[in-house]
């Protein structure tokens, strides 16, 4: 049995395993946001949400018992190039410096949180080796269904704060938390969570690049397409020759953005554009068949870094622009990560028949 949750929504996914029907919609998206929520003076309080807090065993769909997929369901994806071929990706920010003599590892996280949930052991290990490590956020995750829960929480806090202000006689006291967030603001909040998390993992903030592939006007809007992801990876492959490129699995996966990123990397490896590639498997899908792989295990200090990074997604402090979007999106995956800090990694190869052994929490 795998305890898991989240990160399964997404349009176009071919979810056939028991999808957690009642879970908040996981990362999906659309555009890069505009201004951050206005909140000049911190008021209110900071709520640290423990990953195990809540209705872990009672939330419908929160605990998923994954079953083996139907035969043939996960053949090597052959998604064709989709969308508008005239659309081209350009980085909105200068690409980070080249690696010099150091090996470069580029991690493409489809949504803010995948880098911590599924790639963090590889990231911290690469930093510890002295590699030059870059993280590319493919999307802002701005269309997450978590916006509903966050806005409900904000509305409640807003009412509470206003009531307290009125009761204290300070009728003109400003209420410094927003009553609700727009999709743009959710995107900004998620990118901020990502930036704090990768910093906790040991990156310099300038080595995080945001690709905004879910921007309105991008190819197929909120969706990540194979074509879009390939454009991004191709850009990094050209700037960092010989780099190792890592993204989510192209096989053991159901979330369409994850799959498309994985397929793009596979195609570029097959074409020789990329010479070194790895794929990581979401803990939701650790039991799905995939090419032979390994478990990446953290050192104690790496584990501490990863847990700090996870905490960035679990912090509710609206006056400081922190909305625990990761928690409201995929809380069960963070709960699972807290208990079992490992990455499941595979390279290319034939899809094995049968299932992986059930991973055992450490």
Q: Which residues bind Zn ion (CB under 5 A)?
A: 7, 27, 110-111, 114
Question: Do residues 141 and 197 lie in contact, with contact meaning Cβ atoms separated by under 8 Å?
Answer: no
Q: Smaller CB distance to Zn ion: residue 110 or 326?
A: 110
93: left (phi over 0), alpha (psi -120 to 50) or beta: beta
Least Å distance, CB 2 to Zn ion, is 17
| 102's tokens | 């150091």
CB contact at 8 A, 36 and 149 = no
| Least gap, CB of 71 to Zn ion (angstroms) | 26
DSSP code at position 285: G
Nearest position to Zn ion, beta carbon: 111
Nearer to Zn ion, 27 or 184 (CB): 27
In the complex, what is the shortest distance from the CB of residue 138 to Zn ion, in angstroms, rounded to a whole number?
Answer: 9
**Please, which residue, 37 or 262, has the CB nearer to Zn ion?**
262
Residue 304 CB, shortest distance to Zn ion, in Å, is 24
Alpha-carbon torsion, ordered 265, 311, 193, 288, to 10 deg? 20
User: What's the closest the beta carbon of residue 337 comes to Zn ion, in angstroms?
Assistant: 13
CB of 111 to Zn ion, least distance (A): 4
Q: DSSP class of residue 346? A: E
Nearer to Zn ion by Cβ, of 114 and 140: the residue is: 114
Nearer to Zn ion, 240 or 279 (CB): 279
Tokens of 108: 């493409």
Q: Which is closer to Zn ion, CB of 7 or CB of 121?
A: 7
Instruction: Give the residue from 83, 102, 91, 137 showing the smallest Cα distance to 247.
Output: 137
């Amino acid at each position: 049995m795998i305890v898991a949750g989240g990160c399964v929504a997404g349009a176009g996914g071919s979810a056939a395993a028991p999808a957690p029907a009642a879970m908040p919609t996981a990362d999906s998206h659309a555009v890069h946001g505009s201004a951050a929520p206005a909140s000049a003076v911190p008021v209110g309080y900071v709520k640290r949400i423990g990953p195990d807090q809540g209705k872990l065993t009672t939330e419908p769909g929160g605990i998923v018992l994954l079953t083996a997929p139907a035969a043939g369901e996960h053949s090597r994806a052959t998604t064709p190039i989709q969308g508008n071929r005239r659309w081209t990706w350009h980085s909105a920010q200068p690409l980070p410096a080249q690696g010099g003599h150091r090996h470069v590892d580029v991690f493409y996280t489809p949504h803010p949180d995948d880098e911590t949930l599924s790639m963090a052991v590889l990231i911290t290990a690469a930093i510890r080796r002295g590699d030059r490590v870059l993280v590319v956020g493919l999307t802002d995750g701005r269309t997450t269904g978590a916006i509903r829960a966050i806005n409900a929480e904000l509305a409640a806090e807003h009412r509470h704060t206003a009531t307290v202000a009125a009761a204290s006689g300070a009728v003109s006291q400003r209420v410094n938390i927003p009553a609700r967030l727009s999709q743009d603001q959710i995107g900004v909040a998620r990118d901020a969570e990502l930036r704090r998390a990768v910093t906790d993992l040991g990156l310099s903030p300038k080595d995080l690049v945001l690709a905004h592939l879910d921007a309105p006007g991008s190819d197929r809007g909120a969706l990540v397409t194979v074509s879009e992801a390939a454009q991004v990876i191709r850009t990094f492959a050209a700037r960092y020759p010989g780099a190792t490129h890592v993204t989510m699995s192209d096989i053991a996966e159901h979330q369409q953005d994850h799959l498309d990123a994985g397929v793009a990397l596979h195609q570029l490896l097959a074409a020789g554009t990329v010479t070194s590639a790895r794929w990581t498997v979401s803990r939701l899908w650790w039991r799905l068949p995939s090419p032979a792989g390994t478990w990446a295990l953290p050192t104690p200090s790496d584990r501490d870094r990863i847990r700090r990074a996870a905490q960035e997604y679990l912090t509710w402090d609206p006056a400081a622009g922190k909305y625990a979007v990761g928690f409201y999106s995929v809380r069960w995956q963070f709960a699972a990560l807290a208990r079992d800090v490992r990455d499941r990694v595979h390279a290319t190869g034939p899809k094995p028949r049968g299932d992986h052994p059930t991973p055992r929490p450490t």
